[in-house]
């Protein structure tokens, strides 16, 4: 029930944020709407075009790096799956070690996929003008938080609430 309510609240704020972003008839953000005027918290300096470009470059660099790492990881994982090693020459310790290695590689690969999607989503949010707004409460996330963690989708107080649950 709580997740349904949170999803509905997040959806409502997304509509409010997107309604505030002026778009062209094709649905693209107009100049001066999304990326030119990212939100800031009270007391923070406005985003400069250079700062926005820096965040975008960092996200794009992370996407390229993670995609390369993911390709290697998936290749290694494929090798582990093909060479399961449950053969007659292995004792239980060897088999356990191989299973542990495979499970660890699966976890790391899934974490990389998640991180890749978060980075792509952050770029999409920059392009649509939703970047910098909390997905839970709709308030500005904060320039300093986004510079430290460009994939952030929640403000500090909403993130703290989420972690307490």
Percent residues over pLDDT 70 in the chain: 73
Please state which CATH class domain 2-164 belongs to.
Answer: mainly alpha
Domain segments of the chain: what residues? Answer: 2-164
Read off the pTM.
0.69
Radius of gyration over alpha carbons of the chain, in Å?
Answer: 21
pLDDT at 50: 95
CB 66 within 8 A of CB 116: yes
Query: Measuring CA to CA, which residue among 162, 73, 83 is closest to residue 115?
Result: 73
Q: Where is mean pLDDT largest: 17-21, 98-102, 106-110, 111-115?
A: 111-115
């Amino acid at each position: 029930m709580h997740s349904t309510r949170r999803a509905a609240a997040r959806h409502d704020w997304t509509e409010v944020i997107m309604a505030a972003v002026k778009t062209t008839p094709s649905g693209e953000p107009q100049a001066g709407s999304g990326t030119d005027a990212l939100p800031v918290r009270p007391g923070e300096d406005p985003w400069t075009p250079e700062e926005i470009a820096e965040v975008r470059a960092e996200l794009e660099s992370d996407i390229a790096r993670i995609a390369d790492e993911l390709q290697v990881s998936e290749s290694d994982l494929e090798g582990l799956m093909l060479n399961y090693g449950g053969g007659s020459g292995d004792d239980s310790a060897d088999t356990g070690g191989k299973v542990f290695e495979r499970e660890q590689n699966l976890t790391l690969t899934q974490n990389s996929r998640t991180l890749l999607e978060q980075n792509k989503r952050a770029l999409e949010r920059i392009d649509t003008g939703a970047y910098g707004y909390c997905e839970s409460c709709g308030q500005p996330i904060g320039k300093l938080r986004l510079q430290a963690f460009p994939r952030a989708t929640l403000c500090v107080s909403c993130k703290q609430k989420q972690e307490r649950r």
